[in-house]
Amino acid sequence: MVVEDIEVLSPIAGIAPDGTQRQTQTEGDRYMDAAQIELANRVLKMIASRVPVPFDDAIRLRHWAILPKDSTLPLAEIARKIIESDDSHLR
């Protein structure tokens, strides 16, 4: 039996079996990206204003760090990396 024209994705969302990045984004992906950017911007504004970042926001931002090793960085650095990552998709 031959199966053709079926795209099989790895368990890592957005990565094709050959290791290349999948170019299409689902509506859920765009919603999540927007939520990450919004939180990153909000955290940066709080830090700049010397307002304490709520615990839940800090944990969520650390959870959304671009790389797992980035989760131990200061919140401002994690937020900047999230925003820079979004900007790099636009180029």
pLDDT per residue over 6-63, tens digit each?
Answer: 444 434 444 555 555 555 557 777 777 889 999 999 999 999 999 999 999 999 999 9
**Is 53 part of any domain?**
yes
Cα 4 to the center of its chain, rounded Å: 32
Residue 67, domain member (yes or no): yes
Range of the domain at 78: 27-90
Q: What's the pLDDT at 1?
A: 43
What's the pTM?
Answer: 0.65
Q: Tell whether 68 is covered by a domain.
A: yes
Q: Is residue 52 part of a domain?
A: yes
pLDDT classification of 91: cutoffs 50, 70, 90: very low
* Structural domain includes residue 8: no
Q: How many domains does the chain have?
A: 1
Q: Is residue 4 part of a domain?
A: no
pLDDT digits (tens, 9 = 90+) for 48-70: 999 999 999 999 999 999 899 99
d(CA 59, CA 86): 20
Assigned domain for 19 exists: no
